[in-house]
Each structure stands twice: as C-alpha cells, then as structure tokens.
C-alpha cells in the first residue's frame, strides 16, 4: 500500500471532497460482492455483521488508518474473503468494477461525495446515518438516488430492531388510538474519546444529528410527516474542552410540534451514571401507550402490561439491517429506510440542531423552503 496511508485521517477526510421482513437465512445463487469505505469503530462492527449474511463476499476495504485496514482485512480473510485494500475510495471505485454494493461508514461531513461516487458508479449503497451534513446535502443525495441504478439504504437500523419494528407497526395500525405525544431520551456516559471526530461538530454535525437521529427516526416513522417547528436548548455543562477542542454538546433538550397537535420531546445527556437512566422511546395515544424497545403497552386507565408478539425477538438490529440491505441489493426491492425516509429523519435532526444552536424557534418551512 502507498505511503500516504500514514497521513492523518483528517487529511483523508478533507480530500474525500410498512416494515422490513425479518428475514430467515436463505441461500441465493448470486453472491454479493461488498466494498467497505471506513472500517473504524462503527465500520468494523457492521462489517462483522455483513460477513455473517449468507452469500456475501468482502471484495474491497478502504480506510486511511493502516492499522484499521490491516485488522479489517484479517477479519475478512478469516471469513474466507480476499479483499483488495485501498486508501482512496475513488481509486477503489474506479478499479473494482465488479463490486455490487458499497457500505459507507465514515464521518458525516464526507457522506455526500462518497455516496455520489458510489451511486454514479451504479453500485448499491448503504450509508450510515445521518444522510448528510445539512439540508442541501440531503437534497443532492436524494435527487441522485432517483436516477441511480443501485438502491440506496441509510443506516437507520433501529427500524429493523424486532421490538421497535413491532411497536411502530402496532402504532401505525391504530393499536393505541390517535397518536398524541412521543417521548425519548438518550442518557449515557460520554462518547468514546478514541474517536476524535465525534467531538467536532464541523465534522459530525453535532450529537442531535449524528447520534439522536436514530431515535428521532422512529418517531418520524410513527407520525409519517415532518414537524411544523422545533425549539430547544443545550450546551456543554460538564465536559468543557474535554477532549481538547470539543464543540459538540454534552446535554440538550428539544421539543418538536407536529401537525394534528402532536408533540415530541427528546433529551440527550452524556453525564448520566451507568444504569441510572439509559435509552427510552415511548409513544402515547388516545387509548394507550407503548414502550418501543420492549414492545410492551398498556391500555389507558389499566395497570396490566401487554406484550406484543415479536418476530425473532432476540435478533440484532445491525445484522437484520445489513441482511435486509443485501436482500434488497439482490432483488432491487425498496428499503424501509430509503432515501426519502432518510432525508426526512435527518432533516428533523438538523431542524432541532438549528433551533438549539441559534436559541430560537425554527420552522420546517424556514429550513426547507416548503
């Protein structure tokens, strides 16, 4: 490999210019050759799941970090693949004509050029959330998918989580009556310090876009339409300059107002003691309320909890999402988390970010011009 592999990751990035079927393992005559762009913490994790999908070969891996590249190559080889290694995604796409699909697991600020390059080459694309850094990037990507040969699937894998999937389907089918209110929180310890770009909002887009969009996506899925406005507040209250140069928030709260007088509240805290709060998503309706992760609900005025029937209840959302992507690549089927849905949920995060950063109410019409 070229000596440029020793360059900094930032240098690499600067140059980078209904419900899913919970699929059972099934054989297919067509092997899907997959390339990975980005095999750091997240990329190496999802690659592990991708390699466990039947009929998949890891044909190429691209990353600037030579250690990450070496580790990912060893993992792929242990599963029987013999990937070519690259430090430039453009060279990989140009030379690897026989790739079927490309998974992009890189920082937010380079999703746009990588996604466009993969789509223009006619490849199926799985790009980690969020779709893009801002509303303009999301517009460009969505438009590119409309004329692309390959499918586009965004990494909103919680739609494939068995409990959450069953819960949202239940809500959409009227199980708790008219949706009135939705509540979520993600209260944990801080982001991993060994991933510096997560703490730079000019790269990540800040936590509400890079992290919280997963949970916001579930609420948007349940409502099926964009919010009217958002308001919120947040900042850095504990981890000042920790790590050095930190610009992402360590806490915030946001309120969204949707049509039909539906409200969503979401809070995000990074100094929550282990086991104290955790992660929660709940939806309240006119006849009951449901806890999405556990797929349990109660009728209004009754104490008894009711457990929904959940297919494959112990299934891993990341594996199921990648399995679904591979099946969609084989069949050309429309993904549950396709470009239109990915754009909507990403823009909801961006709307909240704008409201918090600018300390004012921001409307959907102002953000999108719609």
Torsion of CA 129, 134, 135, 141, to 10 degrees: -50
Domains along the chain with CATH numbers = 3-158+318-338 (3.40.50.720), 161-313+347-368 (3.30.360.10)
Give dist(CA 308, CA 310) in Å, integer: 6
Give dist(CA 248, CA 268) in Å, integer: 12
Note the pLDDT of residue 26: 41
Segment 241-252, tens digit of pLDDT: 999 999 999 999
Give dist(CA 157, CA 168) in Å, integer: 14
CA distances from 188 to 86, 238, 251, 264 (A): 35, 13, 10, 20
pTM for the whole thing?
0.91
Provide the 10 A C-beta neighbour count for residue 277: 14
- pLDDT band of 29, cuts 50, 70, 90: low
Contact at 8 Å (CB) between 120 and 130?
no
Note the pLDDT of residue 30: 84
Note the pLDDT of residue 206: 98
- The DSSP-derived string for 170-215 is HHHTTTTSSEEEEEEEEE-SPPPTT-GGGG-HHHH--HHHHTTHHH
CA distances from 202 to 98, 132, 155, 164 (A): 35, 12, 21, 31
Give dist(CA 281, CA 320) in Å, integer: 20
Segment 64-79, tens digit of pLDDT: 999 999 999 999 999 9
What mean pLDDT comes out for the span 247-271?
A: 98
Note the pLDDT of residue 11: 41
Per the prediction, the chain carries an average pLDDT of: 93
């Amino acid at each position: 490999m070229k000596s440029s592999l020793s360059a900094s990751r930032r240098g690499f990035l600067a140059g980078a210019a209904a419900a899913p079927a919970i699929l059972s393992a099934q054989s297919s005559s067509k092997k899907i050759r997959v390339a990975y762009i980005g095999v750091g913490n997240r990329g190496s994790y999802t690659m592990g799941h991708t390699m466990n999908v039947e009929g998949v070969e890891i044909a190429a891996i691209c990353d600037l970090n030579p250690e990450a590249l070496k580790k990912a190559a060893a993992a792929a080889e242990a599963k029987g693949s013999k990937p070519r290694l690259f430090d430039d995604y453009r060279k990989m796409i140009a030379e690897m004509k026989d790739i079927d699909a490309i998974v992009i697991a890189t920082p937010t600020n380079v999703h746009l050029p990588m996604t466009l390059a993969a789509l223009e080459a006619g490849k199926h694309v799985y790009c980690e959330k969020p779709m893009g850094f801002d509303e303009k990037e999301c517009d460009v990507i969505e438009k590119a998918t409309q004329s692309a040969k390959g499918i586009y699937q965004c990494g909103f894998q919680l739609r494939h989580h068995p409990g959450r999937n069953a819960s949202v389907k239940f809500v959409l089918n009227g199980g708790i009556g008219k949706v009135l209110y939705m509540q979520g929180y993600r209260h944990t310890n801080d982001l991993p310090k060994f991933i510096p770009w997560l703490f730079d909002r000019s790269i990540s887009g800040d936590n509400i876009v890079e992290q919280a969009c997963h949970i916001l996506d579930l609420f948007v899925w349940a409502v099926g339409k964009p919010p009217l406005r958002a308001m919120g507040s947040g900042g850095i209250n504990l981890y000042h300059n920790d790590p050095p140069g930190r610009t992402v928030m360590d806490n915030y709260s946001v309120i969204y107002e949707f049509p039909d007088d539906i409200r969503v509240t979401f809070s995000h805290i990074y100094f929550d003691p282990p086991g104290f709060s955790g992660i929660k998503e709940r939806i309240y309706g006119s006849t009951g309320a449901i806890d999405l992760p556990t797929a349990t609900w109660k009728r209004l005025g009754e104490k008894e909890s009711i457990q929904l029937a959940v297919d494959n209840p112990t299934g891993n959302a990341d594996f199921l999402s990648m399995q679904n992507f591979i099946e969609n690549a084989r069949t050309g089927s429309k993904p549950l988390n396709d470009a239109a849905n990915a754009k909507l949920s990403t823009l909801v995060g961006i709307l909240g970010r704008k409201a918090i950063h600018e300390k004012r109410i921001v409307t959907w019409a102002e953000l999108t011009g719609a």
